[in-house]
Chains A and B, each alone.
Chain A
Amino acid sequence: MSTVTAQKTSFAAVLWDYLTTVDHKKIGKLYLYGGGFFFLLGGLEAMLIRIQLIKPENDFMSAGLYNEMITMHGTTMIFFAAMPLLLGLMNAVMPLQIGARDVAFPFVNALGFWLFLFGGIMLNVSWFTGAPDAGWTAYAPLSATSPGHGVDYYVLGLQISGAGTLMGGINFLVTIVNMRAPGMTYMRMPLFTWTTFVVSVLILFAFPALTVGLFLLMFDRMFDSAFFDVALGGNSIIWQHLFWIFGHPEVYILILPAFGIFSEIFATFSRKRLFGYTAMVFATILIAFLGFMVWAHHMFTVGMGPVANSIFAIATMAIAVPTGIKIFNWLLTLWGGNITINSAMLWSLAFIPSFTIGGMTGIMVATSVADYQYHDTYFVIAHFHYVIVGGVVFGILAALHYWWPIMFRRVLNERLGKWAFWNFFIGFHLTFFIQHFLGLMGMPRRYWVFLEDQGLDTGNFISTIGAVFMTIGVILFLYNAFYSWFKGDPAPQDPWDARTLEWAVESPTPHYNFKQLPLVRGLDALWIEKMEGNGKLTPAEPLGDIHMPNGSILPFLISLGFFIAGFGFIYQTVTDVAYIFLFGGMGLALACMLVRSLKDDHGYHITKEELEKEAD
């Protein structure tokens, strides 16, 4: 069962291994592959959008196709690229950081991944039949009345993958509460683990709002209900509330893990303890808490009245305080350190000004009266790309460079890494900075064409050129990944002289992670041992049998069942044949759940003798 023998097996065996795996490290990789694929797809859509907008009144694509493109770009990037990439990193790193052998529910972990993947495929199948075209926010009544099945795919795709994300969140919560190594108290947890914890709470409370909204939309579209139909006594504004009660915490679901990542990287490459650790933890919690109080700042122009607008404006501004605390703590972490600048660090350093600009425009859009001008224009597009690209995407890329040695046993090539960085960084600012001005100059968002002679030509042209540079950056990063895999040497266990527990694990990481659970004696557990000359962690338990979960194909089959049922739901409005898919798919999923519930699976043990033999 050791990883060495697994590597020598055939392709089919590897495939079967990944289809049935419940190992958090492999699931982490699957999330990265899946999320990476959708990231490229979303990026391609973005590039096509920018080509359409390279000149005024362009006829590169039709209005209908353009609307599908923007809808798919937003939906794909948020739900199927950024989230899974972060979930992948959490899976790959968090259990190691807290000294656990796996997550609390390995089976559920696999189920979460497969639901995400099938949800993503479901959404993208719509490209063959007509993609959703109501925007990623799918405001009713436009979404409820959109002809064709595009929005149906949106609803089902998000519902299936959302269930997976919710499971992932609960799983991480239980893992962090229950499975920390001896001595790993809450206030000794690395910041990335802390943010994973807080984000899991956000997922737990935010996703149900989306689920409810999607169900209402599904009933309206497929079963003739009228939740959003004003003529029949419905209310379309309620969709906006439900969507943003989910949607605003979602922003923090994306950015907080990135904050965790930067906290790790700044500390490691400054060779210095994170400045103001306690403040960082509480700032994270405060941001998460406030994140639930501000959803209606997406709705200042809806006509809620001055009282509601004022309350939400003030609440939104308040978030700047804990965020500011974080920025200054990072700067003070650098201050007085011994700073190494490599690719991971470049992405992190670039994050500070980029994200500060995003935060700055955040305050600007929180100013409700001024938001009457910004709202639904390219200013807002610029703002949230500064936050999500400048924060989340930079964070993901920094994390990939940083944790690549743990995940893939390679150190990414520095030269290529820097080239990718500079292309992407310059391209990013070129693309989005000018968009602040485009918005104020009168360009609303989601415009298929902008008219000639409206003073918008130059800005849009520059923006498209920037997008080309970003594309080159992404291609260089991909090349780097393959190049390092084929040409690189196996990475050492701790290439960065890092501080936290995940670097205390031997390389390649054994599938049981820790032969003996480590004893954690403080924050930056590994660093403490290094400073005291031990170099490695003291075991907290004698060598003994390790209980491991069995792999299972059931998560894949359950997800496949829901996937098939999804088509049944979509097409039962058109043909009765669809009921075969509906009941067949649900039957498959429920039958697999039944099997899982009735059949005891106690897992297996790696015996002490085997472990001792491996050590030789």
Chain B
Amino acid sequence: MKGWMGKFKVFSLLGFVALFLSACGKENLTALDPKGYGADKAMDLIILPTVIMSFVLLIVMVLLVLALIKFRKKKGQEDFIPKQVEGNKTLETVWTVIPILLLIIIAVPTLIYEFDLADDADASDSLNINVTGNQYWWHFDYEGLDIQTSQDVYIPADSKVYFNMKSSDVIHSFWVPTLSGKLDVNPENENTFYINAYEEGVYWGKCAEFCGPSHSLMDFKVVVVSQEEFEQWVADMQNFDPETAEPATDTAAQGRDLFEQNNCISCHAIGSSPAAIGPNLTNFGDRTKLAGVEDMTKEKLVEWIVNPELIKPGNKMTGAYPKVSDEDAELIAEYLLQLKPSEITIESAGGLK
């Protein structure tokens, strides 16, 4: 009975560990709860070696503990000299061959998955997004759609979306843990991979290659929406014309004038534009995070416009524009926050969890 209870305890403990693992981390950030093809495949190959290697670890632990219990020096036997064994061919063969077999079990699916994920034969028939990594923000250019965004990238669910990535400065790495593994964003070549998201929602993206002081603040969001919503979003973005779109309020209109007077426009495009010196602000009002990390409030935005260095150390905006007063910054903020060209937003996609 006691033995049975012991087993029960072990099993319940294992169950606990499994539960702990599946509930591990924040939804739509953790890699342990995959919701995309790449992350799914990676998860398979996280579990398989973990199970196999845990089995090896268990054997090692059992042998170690048994050896220590059985062969620890006993009273009265201090001078006992054990038999000086040179080795054992059979045993040594066994622990050479079995690991090789175990490794083959791991290696075969690794190779299959590796080539599977690298297969980009259908790239030209899919949605392609050209990504530029910058210190410390992301630029997304929808190929053939005349849409540019930064920080938030909108993609349709259940279809392959290709990301063609290049850096404008140092090396970055594009990582959306819940949807896919990461890929480096290099200055010299274009790296391509795809994301195929299973579920609608807003996913956290992180820069995973050390890129300077604000490396940890280079977050972005992947907004996965249904195919229809995506099409609507594309239409909304394409129909938005900054020349004709009148600001919602008077103060916002004043803000737009200031935006132009202060020459913000020389770096920040509003509406479709190939310019990518600074983030494109077309749908700025739909973002839920300022600079990728801060809560999007007017106060924070004013703080950012007046002195971005306080929020993102080492960013390239600091010092690249004339000094802006708090009052002017408030007006500009007013203008930027009402830039909401589409109904399809992070909020409508379920919000950032």
Q: Report A's interface with B, CB cutoff 8 A.
A: 62-64, 67, 133-135, 139, 141-142, 145, 230, 235-237, 270-273, 275-279, 301-303, 305-306, 309-310, 313-314, 317-318, 320-321, 324-325, 327-329, 331-332, 334-341, 349, 352-353, 356-357, 359-361, 363-364, 367-373, 375-377, 437, 440-442, 444-451, 453-456, 531
Contacts and interface: CB of A to CB of B under 8 A. Distances in A.
Given A313-B110, A448-B215, A376 B293 contact: no
A509 B120 CA distance: 67
B100 interface: yes
B110 A338 contact: no
Q: Which 8 A-B pairs have the closest CB atoms?
A: A372-B181, A441-B25, A447-B216, A360-B53, A455-B26, A303-B191, A63-B213, A306-B118
Interface of B: 24-26, 29-32, 38-39, 41-43, 45-46, 48-50, 53-54, 56-57, 60-61, 63-64, 67-68, 70-73, 77, 80-88, 91-92, 95-96, 99-100, 103, 106-107, 110-111, 113-115, 117-118, 169-171, 173, 175, 177-178, 180-184, 186-189, 191, 204, 206-217, 219, 293, 313-314
A271 B73 CA distance: 10
B92 A353 contact: no
B189 to A, nearest CB: 7
Contact of A142 (B49, B82, B175, B211): B211
Contact of A440 (B24, B107, B189): B24
Given A275-B85, A356-B56, A440-B25, A301 B184 contact: yes
A517 to B, nearest CB: 26
B99 A272 contact: no
B26 A453 contact: yes
Contacts of B103: 317-318, 320-321, 363
Nearest to B204: A442
Contacts of A364: 46, 49-50, 53
26 contacts: A62-B313, A63-B214, A63-B314, A230-B188, A236-B187, A237-B188, A271-B80, A272-B84, A303-B184, A320-B103, A321-B100, A328-B63, A336-B82, A337-B82, A338-B80, A339-B71, A360-B56, A369-B117, A371-B181, A372-B180, A375-B173, A376-B208, A440-B46, A441-B29, A442-B31, A531-B81
Contacts of B60: 327-328, 331, 352-353, 356
Contacts of B313: 62-64
B67 A335 contact: yes
A541 B282 CA distance: 89
A334 B181 contact: no
B317 to A, nearest CB: 16
| Residue from A352, A447, A456 having most chain B Cβ neighbours under 10 A | A447
A270 B56 CA distance: 24
Nearest to B207: A444
A454 B26 contact: yes
Q: Classify the interface of chain B: helix, strand, loop or mixed.
A: mixed
Contact of A441 (B26, B82, B215): B26
A159 B30 CA distance: 40
Given A272-B85, A352-B60, A444-B208, A372 B182 contact: yes
Contacts of B25: 437, 440-442, 455-456
A331 B53 contact: no
A338 B77 contact: yes
A331 B213 contact: no
B110 A367 contact: yes
A448 B216 contact: yes
Given A237-B188, A306-B115, A369 B56 contact: no
Contacts of B219: 451
A454 B24 CA distance: 11
Nearest to B191: A303
Contacts of A67: 210, 212-213, 215
B18 to A, nearest CB: 13
Contacts of B92: 276, 279, 325, 328-329
Contacts of A272: 82-85
A320 B57 contact: no
A321 B206 contact: no
Contacts of A451: 219, 293
A455 B72 CA distance: 44
B87 A275 contact: yes
Contact of A331 (B67, B84, B188): B67
Contacts of B113: 369
Nearest to A376: B208
A339 B206 contact: no
A361 B86 CA distance: 31
A369 B82 CA distance: 47
Nearest to B68: A339
A63 B50 CA distance: 35
Contacts of B77: 338
Contacts of A332: 85, 88, 91
B53 A338 contact: no
A442 B96 contact: no
Given A364-B53, A373-B177, A441-B32, 9 more contacts: A63-B213, A142-B170, A230-B187, A235-B188, A331-B64, A332-B88, A352-B60, A441-B30, A450-B216
A370 B71 contact: no
A373 B67 contact: no
Contacts of A321: 96, 99-100, 103
Contacts of B191: 303
Nearest to B219: A451
A369 B114 contact: yes
A272 B41 CA distance: 47
A451 B221 CA distance: 14
Nearest to B189: A303
Contacts of B73: 338-340
A145 B83 CA distance: 63
Contact of B42 (A276, A373, A454, A455): A373
A227 B12 CA distance: 58
Contacts of A310: 110-111, 114-115
A208 B169 CA distance: 29
B183 to A, nearest CB: 6
